[in-house]
Amino acid sequence: MVRITYNLDFILSRLDNIDILVLRVIEGLMGKFEFVPIEFIESRVRFSSSSLSKALHKLLDFRLVSRRVGDYTGYGLTFKGLDTLAYHYLKSNGYVTMLGEKIGVGKEGEVFLGEAPSGEFIVVKFHRGGFSGFRRIRRFRSYSIDAQHSWLELAKLTGEREFRVLSDLYKIGCRVPKPIAWNRHAVVQEYIDGIDLYKVGSLDASIASKILDSIIEDIKIAYQKVRVVHGDLSEYNIMIVESSWDAYIIDWPQYAYRDDELAESLLRRDVEYILRFFKKKFGVRRDVESTIRIIKGEYS
């Protein structure tokens, strides 16, 4: 059983249907308001002022919303509130039964260990939109984001991006975590029982070469068959299963399509980072230009 460190299960046990409805209404109106005026919330939920006031106080107590007081009173969703809505959907639809300890955190989001109805471990990743992420994702043609999009929409778009590209990559045999479900900014994935590449100790050169070959092969498959470039590849987002030395590439939301104007430079950076790491850590040497040509299918 997972060890619980994030109290979303406790919060959901204390919320009722009215509380969830108020959260959803605030979420739906945040495309128009940073803080949704209370009269707009009242007009959407259509139940008594006392019931609404009770719900809002509960949501404030759990820090699922924040309040603005000034020329008008308004409420805005917090990341914890968005987490709660996404987790409520995933749990209600039978993808997750329990959320456990945090096992990863980075510029893209927070990653938690979870438990599936089968009792197996799974991973639940909550994307965290931010200005740096906004600038990265804005450049990709398939996701046109302008300055009117809030952190809320950015977080949802990054979650959708990762789930869709993982689905495409997994179908054609790339070693990536199997995508299970997605809602809003949350992506449920297969749990990989491995360690980050940068944590791997000394290796025999033949094993290190095998691992590098498999990484290059998956970059090649992604480039040629799914037509995408990871865009942020390093030893920090490759996981190694030590029992088999299989390598899994994780963290894909910042990918670029290979016909994007930045794809060439992103591919080169991905390759340079990985080859530099293997040379420094394991003494395995590969030529950058030759590796890029292999990935592009110019020669084997």
Please identify every residue annotated as catalytic: 232
Burial class (CB in 10 A: 0-12, 13-18, 19+), 164: middle
Q: What letter does residue 192 receive in the DSSP assignment?
A: P
Q: How far apart are CA 299 and CA 57, in angstroms?
A: 64
Residue with tokens 């977080």: 155
Residue with tokens 């299960």: 9
Which residue spans within 27-153 are E strands per DSSP?
Answer: 36-37, 65-68, 74-77, 98-105, 109-115, 121-127
Chain centroid to CA 34: 23
Closest CA to 22 of 6, 1, 38, 4: 38
Q: How far apart are CA 270 and CA 57, in angstroms?
A: 48
Taking only Cα atoms into account, the Rg of the chain, rounded to an integer number of angstroms, comes to 22
